[in-house]
A and B are shown apart, each in its own frame.
Chain A
């Protein structure tokens, strides 16, 4: 039987090496041995995703790799999550995320979602081609801390400004931070439309989200 450290390492390595089945297996062994699920998630799976992020930033890993690493992470998460003690839902920072209306490119958005989930955010994923008002309604309903908008197309960029205007109209602009990303978008554009921040990639998005909400 493997030690706790061995199992954690297997999970972390499995995520980095994109070995879905092995991660799920190690996670099951971890639970069977009676170790706490939270530790498996934090020191195994998330440790692996953090290593993946570093490799991605160093341009050692590419989008293809990150997708497969995250598949492996979720395989482990599916095993460990049911064994987590009930947690206080209020404690997690919540973010609404989606691709704005008129655009169906969602790889970037999905990567941001994965990375932010890994970093402990609760993500409300509205998908792609999302009606602008829906961002606002969902942010209000879920009392979100963040609204994350993505687009790859120039035709839909202006929708981001509309969302910000709609947030003002709904009277909740001061309660949420708005961050944007995607191919045609830039820091300049973010400033121009009054968004709180722009990030160029998924790893940076996590840093931005944390700094906007003043969390370590």
Chain B
């Protein structure tokens, strides 16, 4: 199964991305719905199978692409894969998104015996390499492949147990930094593994949200490690990563401006117009259809209206705009809503 260019479009997603980078005209606004295991519904693949069978995972992603013609393919290792490789426990429900269970790092002394993860020693990471290799081949140059990895802060927090980790920021900052070092070095090894198959990199760091931590901790415990891995990825892949952080991130936009971010993906509670003014000069604005209110529970008309309003707010941003969901598309979302989304974007450009 290979990626087929969409008949209504005049450019392939790959061509569109290149044109956007050069500031040239594109046939339409790019669209990235954050989908994953939900694609398995198109091919009769359960969520658990999706995460454990590289062939089925890629088949599902290509099926979604050939139906929607959206602008980027992605897959893990996300936070889950790297967490598992480091010893954490991830539960894969039959239907639905994976989640973390328990806490692995119950004592910081465990770090004494831990080494940065190497993909060749981790079955879980090798699974993602296989899936990526297949996906890159199936994408066939039509559409870019941008694997997704979690941010160091989020991975570290889940390895330790988020509530403990948040307390440690104040109580044991030196141990937190040791852990972040181990995680960041492990991630670099992951980037090495990913790089040959990647046209870009997506990063998501949900626990680094200002809803949970202060800007002070963002500066000390998030920013340096995130920038380090972003710069590393830029060097290896030749493309700065995109970044998603949940919640109201307004307080850390000053840091965003200083980071090597290609595209910033904003939570649906953020105002795209403000983002365009404040961040648009440095990075592509990505966002931000409300996943629950709009995609899961909204009507088709409400969705189309939301898309038009967002396009009006963000289009013309100097580094471009990508229509995307404000966070992951909920698993039970009707796929027809994604069809309508693509249709509306194409209609706006007269396609």
Q: Which residues of A contact B (CB under 8 A)?
A: 18, 62-65, 67-68, 71, 102-107, 110, 153-155, 157-158, 183-184, 186, 188-189, 192
Contacts and interface: CB of A to CB of B under 8 A. Distances in A.
Contacts of A67: 163, 166-167
Interface in B85-100: 93, 95-97, 99-100
Contact of A62 (B95, B96, B100, B210): B210
Contact of B101 (A63, A104, A154): A104
A171 B143 CA distance: 56
A64 B167 contact: yes
Nearest to B47: A155
B293 interface: yes
Given A103-B99, A110-B163, A154-B332, A62 B212 contact: yes
Nearest to A201: B211
A110 B161 CA distance: 14
B162 A18 contact: no
Given A62-B210, A64-B212, A154-B292, A107 B167 contact: no
Interface in B115-169: 162-163, 166-167, 169
A102 B246 CA distance: 21
Given A107-B162, A154-B292, A155-B331, A64 B213 contact: yes
B214 interface: yes
B182 interface: no
Q: Which of A62, A102, A158, A188 neighbours the largest number of chain B CB atoms within 10 Å of its CB? A: A62
B232 interface: no
Given A63-B166, A71-B167, A184-B292, A155 B214 contact: no
A87 B109 CA distance: 44
A189 B292 CA distance: 10
Given A62-B212, A64-B169, A104 B99 contact: yes
Nearest to B247: A183
Contacts of B331: 154-155
Given A64-B213, A65-B214, A154-B332, A184 B170 contact: no
Contacts of B97: 153, 155
Contacts of B5: none
Contacts of A63: 166, 211-213
Contacts of A71: 167
Q: Which of B99, B100, B101 neighbours the largest number of chain A CB atoms within 10 Å of its CB? A: B99
B296 interface: yes
B166 A102 contact: no
Contacts of B166: 63-64, 67, 107
Q: Which of B166, B212, B293 neighbours the largest number of chain A CB atoms within 10 Å of its CB? A: B166
Interface string B293-311: 1001100000000000000
Contacts of A65: 214
Contacts of A102: 93, 96
Q: Which of B93, B291, B297, B331 neighbours the largest number of chain A CB atoms within 10 Å of its CB? A: B297
Contact of A68 (B93, B95, B167, B297): B167
